[in-house]
Chains A and B, each alone.
Chain A
Amino acid sequence: MDSWSRFLDTFFKPDLIRHYLPSIAAGTVTTIEIAAAIVVTGIALGLVLAVVRTFRVLPINVILVTCVDIMRALPPIVLVLLVYFGMPNIGINLPSFAVLWIVLSLVLAAFAEEIFWAGILSIPKGQWETARSTGFGFFPTLLYIVLPQAVRLTVPPLTNRTLAITKNTALGTVIGVPEILNQATTGQSFSGNATPLMMGAIAYVILFIPVVALGRLLETRFRWSRA
């Protein structure tokens, strides 16, 4: 057997591809479901937290910033394991899907809050003052004048961060969420061959390349030359 056919046999074995295609496909659907749920709740929560922070109520902001920093500092896998194996001991049994969704949503929310906050801070004071001078209250100013500008500025960093965190859905494998990597490793251990893992890798690429492209598109669309 020459090395080229050994390579194909290790990573692209046709009968294994046929055999594991359904499970990898099912894993892909699961990954999409969790990733979509994380993106929606994580970004929404991050935006809400950033808005709460603008009210500058000291005790609330101290708690908020502390929690955000902890979420950003911890490796997500530590949180996943802690919640999944710790919570049952205090009587809370969460399905693995829910644990992964909640933990990664909170991590994304923490990063998104920082990104939105930086965006809000970067809007010049004059924008606030002008809006206030035309009769807008604090919250309407935030809603109609500051956030629309801040959100545009945050599209590139937010896209990057969202990608980085949704890729962490692969952590679901350690708590048995049947997502892509979980299906692939199962296939690998049953077949003793890396083909299922390669299929998993390809599934991730197919899944995330369009997201990267969409991020680029949004970046261009939301760019405007500032006066």
Chain B
Amino acid sequence: MLLVTAPILDIRGLRKSFGHVEVLRGIDLSVQPQELVFIIGPSGSGKSTLLRCCNRLEEPSVGTIRIDGVDLMDRRTDINAMRRHIGMVFQSFNLYPHLSALSNVSLALRKVVKKSRAEAETLALAALERVGLRDKAKSYPSELSGGQQQRVAIARALALEPTIMLFDEPTSALDPELVGSVLAVMRELKQDGMTMLVVSHEMRFARDAADRVIFMDHGLIVEEAPPAQIFTSPREPRTRAFIAELTR
């Protein structure tokens, strides 16, 4: 990937401690426009924390994070305005149980972006269409399968027209037969040119959709390489051990 364009996400010297435990110990990472970057690593390696620092759901201890050139750590930055453009998809979907799929998607458009109800619902329906669930607009989360809930959650982030989307283990809570539908949506987002940072263990998906795979361990980036390389001939022994464990 050429580095002539300005990165969408640019992380420099990021550290994060919880009490005395340093979970991130100096992360440098940039993600280029339309790039899909995959983060893998053992549990406790800090990958979810890294992702959650990218919209300051976790407050970084040290370091800078720029999204589209805007410094997230700057006191003058309106973090709520920034977060709209940083789509986040969670492992546990987190749909609002008291709202229909349509309202789940349109709520932020109406109350944060201040669009009219009609306008918000039109955009929400378009977002639901993209994830193949336009016909489920009136359904409540309890009436949807896990895979459908996660796709609504993706639509909810998508409706705000994010410049980057963060996925925190989006398929880990799903039954195996439902994983495919979520990955298919993510694959389409990739084809539509969405910039994505994904924490996941879906190796097959990483292999054919990711531009770059990052292996993290103990709060550091151990190795980064194109998927073909990292899965077949990892450079670092730790990466090799982890990949071997995963593909066993």
Contacts and interface: CB of A to CB of B under 8 A. Distances in A.
Nearest to A130: B94
Given A134-B83, A134-B156, A227-B149, A129 B94 contact: yes
A210 interface: no
Given A129-B90, A227-B141, A227-B149, A135 B80 contact: yes
A124 B91 CA distance: 14
B19 interface: no
Contact of B112 (A135, A148, A225): A135
Interface string A10-29: 00000000000000000000
B94 A134 contact: no
B90 A126 contact: yes
B101 to A, nearest CB: 11
B95 interface: yes
Contacts of A7: none
A77 interface: no
Contact of B108 (A126, A135, A148, A224): A135
B80 A137 contact: yes
Contacts of A134: 83-84, 107-108, 112, 156-157, 160
Interface in B103-138: 107-108, 111-113
A11 B83 CA distance: 70
A132 interface: yes
B215 interface: no
Interface residues of A, number: 22
A140 interface: yes
A227 B173 CA distance: 13
A226 interface: yes
B17 interface: no
A224 B96 CA distance: 12
Interface string B51-84: 0000101000000000000000000000011011
Contacts, number: 73
B141 A133 contact: no
Contact of B90 (A130, A144, A225, A227): A130
A30 interface: no
Interface residues of B, number: 31
A208 interface: no
A204 interface: no
B237 interface: no
A149 interface: yes
Contact of A133 (B88, B92, B142): B88
Contacts of B113: 135
A112 B141 CA distance: 29
A136 interface: yes
A127 interface: yes
Interface in A72-129: 124, 126-127, 129
A126 B156 CA distance: 15
Given A126-B92, A130-B90, A224-B97, A136 B108 contact: yes
A172 B46 CA distance: 62
Nearest to B156: A134
B111 A133 contact: no
B94 A135 contact: no
Contact of A149 (B93, B97, B111): B97
Q: Which 8 A-B pairs have the closest CB atoms?
A: A135-B84, A134-B108, A130-B94, A126-B94, A227-B141, A133-B88, A135-B112, A225-B142
Interface of A: 124, 126-127, 129-137, 140, 144-145, 148-149, 152, 224-227
Given A133-B83, A137-B80, A140-B112, 20 more contacts: A127-B94, A127-B96, A130-B88, A130-B153, A131-B108, A132-B80, A132-B83, A133-B86, A133-B157, A134-B112, A134-B156, A135-B80, A135-B83, A135-B108, A136-B111, A144-B107, A149-B96, A224-B142, A227-B97, A227-B149
